[in-house]
Amino acid sequence: MTFGDCADIFKSHTESSNLLKPSAKVYRAEAMKSILKSWPGLNNLDVRKINATDCNTWAAKYSGKYSGTRFNGAIGVLRAVFKIAIESNALYRNPADGIKRAKVRAKGLQLPSSNQFELFINEIESANGRDSRKCAELVRFLAYGGFRKSEASNITWADCDLKKGEIIVRGDSKTGTKNWSIRPVPMIPEMKSLLERLRAQRPDEVPDKPVMQVKECLQAMTRAAKVVGIKRITHHDLRHLFATKCIESGVDIPTVSRWLGHKDGGALAMKVYGHLRDQHSVAMAQKVSFSVNPANSDQAKQQANQTGKS
- Judge if 10 and 149 occupy the same domain: no
Asked if residues 212 and 241 have their Cβ atoms less than 8 Å apart, the reply is no
For residue 28, is it within any domain?
A: yes
Q: Cβ distance 213 to 205 under 8 Å?
A: no
Average pLDDT over residues 230-243: 91
Query: 83 with 143, same domain?
Result: no
* Predicted local confidence at residue 278, as pLDDT: 55
Residue in 141, 135, 259, 129 with CA at minimum distance from that of residue 193: 141
Same-domain pairing of 176 and 267: yes
Write down which residue in 87, 122, 152 finishes a domain.
87
CB atoms within 10 A of CB 67: 11
Which among 43, 70, 87 is the end of a domain?
87
Range of the domain at 41: 3-87
What are 113-133's pLDDT values in tens digits? 899 999 999 999 999 889 999
Other beta carbons within 10 angstroms of residue 146's beta carbon come to 25
Same domain, 131 and 246: yes
Domain-located, residue 261: yes
Q: Is residue 282 part of a domain?
A: no
pLDDT tens per residue across span 270-284: 666 655 555 555 665
Query: Residue 2, SS3?
Result: strand
Identify whether residues 137 and 220 lie together within a single domain. Answer: yes
Catalogue the E-assigned strands of the chain. Answer: 160-161, 166-169, 183-186
Task: Verify that 81 and 118 share a domain, yes or no.
Answer: no
**Over the chain, what is the mean pLDDT?**
85
Q: Residues 229, 231, 237, CA angle at the centre, nearest 5°? A: 135
Q: Give domain status of residue 170, yes or no.
A: yes
Q: Where does a domain end: 87, 122, 148?
A: 87
- Burial of 301 from C-beta contacts in 10 A (0-12 / 13-18 / 19+): exposed
Residues 123, 77, single domain; the answer is no
Is position 48 within any domain? Answer: yes
Contact present, 261 and 180 (Cβ < 8 Å): no
Spell out the residues 6+ positions from residue 20 whose beta carbon is closer than 8 angstroms to its own: 14, 28
Q: Is residue 306 part of a domain?
A: no
Asked if 188 and 142 sit in the same domain, the reply is: yes
124 and 268 belong to one structural domain: yes
Domain count, the chain: 2
pLDDT of residue 223: 96
Q: Are residues 139 and 193 in the same domain?
A: yes
CATH of the domain at 11: 1.10.150
119: burial class by Cβ within 10 Å (0-12, 13-18, 19+)? middle
Any domain includes 290: no
Across 51-71, average pLDDT: 91
Asked whether residue 222 is domain-assigned, the answer is: yes
DSSP 3-state of 222? helix
pLDDT at 193 over 90: yes
What's this model's pTM, rounded to 2 decimal places? 0.67
Question: In CATH, what number is assigned to the domain containing residue 165?
Answer: 1.10.443.10
Domain shared by 54 and 156, yes or no: no
Asked if 213 and 261 sit in the same domain, the reply is yes
Question: With contact defined as beta carbons under 8 Å apart, do 78 and 35 qualify?
Answer: yes
> Quick one: what percent of the chain has pLDDT higher than 70?
80
Q: Give the 3-state secondary structure percentages of the chain, helix then strand then coil, rounded to 5.
A: 60, 5, 35
